[in-house]
Amino acid sequence: MKNFVVIGLGRFGTAVARELCELGNQVLVIDLDRDLVQDVADQVTHAVAADARDADVLRSLGVSEYDCAVVAIGDDVGSSALVTLRLKEAGVPQVVCKAQSHVHKRLLEKIGADHVVFPEHEMGIKAAQGLARSNILNFIELSPDYAIVEVDLPGGWEGHSIRELDIRAKFGVNVIALRQGQEINVAPGAECVLSEGDKLIVLGRDEDIAALCKR
C-alpha cells in the first residue's frame, strides 16, 4: 500500500483518485472547489478543500510524507507549474503531472516533474491506431517504438505453422500468444498450426506491425 495525494478534481484527477483508493492505497485529494471535494469525500481516504499553491497549506497537510503526488490541474498552466514546484520543494519523492500541451509538458519537466502524462494526446494516438488499422483488436503501447497488438489472422495463413510462415524473420514481430476461440495459447511453439478465426498477439516495432497488418 502506498500514500498518494491527488491535486485537482477534474475528470482525470477524480478518476485517478478513485482508482488508487480502490486498489487499496491511502489517498488524499485537494481542490479549491468544495463541491467537488464533497462529491468524492466518501470514495477516498481524506478530502480537503484548500489552495495547493500555498506552501503552508501543503506543509500543514504533511504532503512530504506521501509517496507520490499527482497534479491533475491540466487546464491552468500557471497553477499546475506552481503546485508542482511547491511539491518538489516540500520533498515529495515522486510528482506526476497532467499536461494540456507539449509546451506545458516541457515546462513541467523543467520544473522537476518526475513524470508528465498527456491523456488527450495519448488517447488520441491510441484511437487513431485502432481506426487506421481496422484488423487490430487490442493495442498496448510499450514505448514510442514498440507495442503489443492482437490482430486477425492474415488471409492465407490458415493451415500453416508458425515455422512455415517464418513470421519473425519475414515481419520482424514475435508471436507471444494465440487466441483460439475462448482459449489463449501463451507462447505457442513453432510447430503450432494456425486455423481460420485465430487471433495473433504479437510484439514488435510499430512499422513492422503496420507491415503485418497490410497482409
DSSP string, the chain: --EEEEE--SHHHHHHHHHHHHTT-EEEEEES-HHHHHHHGGGSSEEEE--TT-HHHHHHTTGGGSSEEEE--TT-HHHHHHHHHHHHHHT-SEEEEE-SSHHHHHHHHHHT-SEEE-HHHHHHHHHHHHHH-TTEEEEEESSSSEEEEEEEPPTT-TT-BHHHHTHHHHHS-EEEEEEETTEEEES--TTPBP-TT-EEEEEEEHHHHHHHHT-
Q: Are residues 127 and 104 in the same domain?
A: no
pTM for the predicted model, two decimal places: 0.62
Number of domain units in the chain: 2
* Tens digit of pLDDT at every position of the chain (215 positions): 799 999 999 988 999 999 999 889 999 999 999 999 999 999 999 999 999 999 999 999 999 999 999 999 977 899 999 999 999 999 999 999 999 888 898 999 999 999 998 776 666 666 565 555 545 556 666 666 777 888 889 989 999 999 999 999 999 999 988 988 888 888 899 999 999 999 998 888 888 888 887 77
Last residue of a domain, one of 56, 82, 117: 117
Q: Are residues 83 and 154 in the same domain?
A: no
Structural domain boundaries, residue 127: 122-213
Q: Are residues 142 and 207 in the same domain?
A: yes
Last residue of a domain, one of 53, 83, 117: 117
Q: Are residues 55 and 32 in the same domain?
A: yes
Q: Are residues 27 and 107 in the same domain?
A: yes
Residue 49: predicted pLDDT:
97
Query: Residue 113 maps to which CATH number?
Result: 3.40.50.720
Q: Are residues 18 and 80 in the same domain?
A: yes
Chain mean position to CA 127: 13
